């Protein structure tokens, strides 16, 4: 590894499984000290807890149980991170949930569940992170970086997943708003917008109907992996991403180009 994040401190929400898990491992391999913010250490797709894997790989990752839909949990998360590691350099706003329903079948509790985690949680984490970053010295022209995991479905329709698509559109907007408001303070806000990513989790995500749909929409000969997203998040979290803020980086195999 090139140690592109050597000495940096990062929080990754939803870091126990899927895309978040790949980001945690990638950041740790690149020298970051990573705080895994999740409600559980259990891995949806199976396998040992990510902090154990990181330790075996020679990195540093610690778990902090967090319900990101609760402001008190998020404040405690950032406070514990700073108390342990001294600062916060990178927030990866990754945690998200689905309802998997079109508009007329989306009940109020479905909407609230998705918005509480996928959008309100991202707002609470971004707010707490930026508050901390504003107190920090500038290092390499930056006080801190936010990397939001949005989706191509924040820019086009999310078939039969109304609440999720709206939440991801909110993430895409939030990315730009934070970038515009806090560039003067040397705080960077960008997003990675994945296409169809095969994380290994079961259920609707691997229903043949949606796999076939995704293949039909994706020009690249394969669908995405969590590592594809982690590679993009690493770039946006690193010093290589200069004069770059407010951007949604599509990691979608050409989906949005087709």
Structure confidence at residue 126 (pLDDT) = 98
| Torsion angle defined by CA atoms of residues 89, 195, 102 and 109, in that order, rounded to the nearest 10 degrees | -20
Say whether pTM exceeds 0.95: yes
CA–CA gap between residue 258 and residue 250 (Å, rounded): 13
Please give the positions annotated as active site. Answer: 164
Q: Answer yes or no: CATH 3.40.50.720 is held by domain 9-257.
A: yes
Tens of pLDDT, residues 119-139:
999 999 999 999 999 999 999
Structure confidence at residue 1 (pLDDT) = 65
- Backbone region of residue 39 per phi and psi (left: phi > 0; alpha: psi in -120 to 50; beta: other values): alpha
Query: Which residue ranges make up each domain of the chain?
Result: 9-257
Residues 233, 192 contacting (CB under 8 angstroms): yes
Tens of pLDDT, residues 196-250:
999 987 787 788 998 999 999 999 999 999 999 999 999 999 999 999 999 999 9
Helix (H, G, I), strand (E, B) or coil at 12: strand
Tens of pLDDT, residues 156-199:
999 999 999 999 999 999 999 999 999 999 999 999 999 999 99
Tens of pLDDT, residues 10-60:
999 999 999 999 999 999 999 999 999 999 999 999 999 999 999 999 999
Structure confidence at residue 202 (pLDDT) = 77
Annotate 159-192 with b (16+ C-beta within 10 A) or e (fewer): ebbbbbbbbbbbbbebbbebbeebeeebbbbbbb
148 φ, ψ to 5°? -95, 140
CA–CA gap between residue 181 and residue 189 (Å, rounded): 10
Helix (H, G, I), strand (E, B) or coil at 239: coil
Helix (H, G, I), strand (E, B) or coil at 62: strand
The tokens for 185 are 């303070």
Residues 146, 126 contacting (CB under 8 angstroms): yes
Structure confidence at residue 2 (pLDDT) = 85
């Amino acid at each position: 590894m090139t140690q592109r994040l050597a000495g940096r401190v990062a929080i990754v929400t939803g870091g126990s499984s899927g895309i978040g898990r790949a980001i945690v491992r990638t950041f740790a391999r690149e020298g970051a000290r990573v705080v895994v913010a999740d409600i559980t250490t259990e891995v949806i797709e199976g396998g040992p807890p990510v902090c154990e894997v990181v330790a075996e790989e020679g990195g540093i990752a610690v778990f902090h149980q967090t319900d990101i839909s609760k402001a008190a949990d998020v404040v405690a998360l950032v406070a514990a991170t700073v108390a342990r590691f001294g600062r916060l350099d990178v927030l990866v706003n990754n945690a998200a949930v689905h309802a998997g329903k079109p508009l007329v079948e989306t009940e109020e509790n479905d909407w609230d569940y998705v918005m509480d985690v996928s959008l309100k949680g991202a707002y609470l984490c971004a707010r707490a992170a930026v508050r901390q970053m504003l107190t920090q010295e500038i290092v390499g022209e930056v006080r801190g970086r936010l990397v939001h995991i949005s989706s191509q479905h924040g820019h086009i329709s999310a078939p039969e997943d109304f609440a999720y698509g709206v939440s991801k559109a909110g993430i895409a907007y939030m990315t730009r708003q934070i970038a515009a408001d806090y560039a003067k303070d040397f705080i960077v806000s960008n997003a990675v917008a994945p296409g169809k990513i095969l994380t290994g989790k079961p259920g609707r995500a691997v229903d043949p109907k949606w796999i076939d749909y995704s293949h039909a929409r994706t020009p690249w000969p394969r669908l995405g992996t969590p590592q594809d997203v982690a590679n993009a998040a690493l770039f946006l979290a690193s010093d290589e991403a200069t004069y770059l803020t407010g951007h949604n980086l599509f990691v979608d195999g050409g989906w949005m180009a087709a």
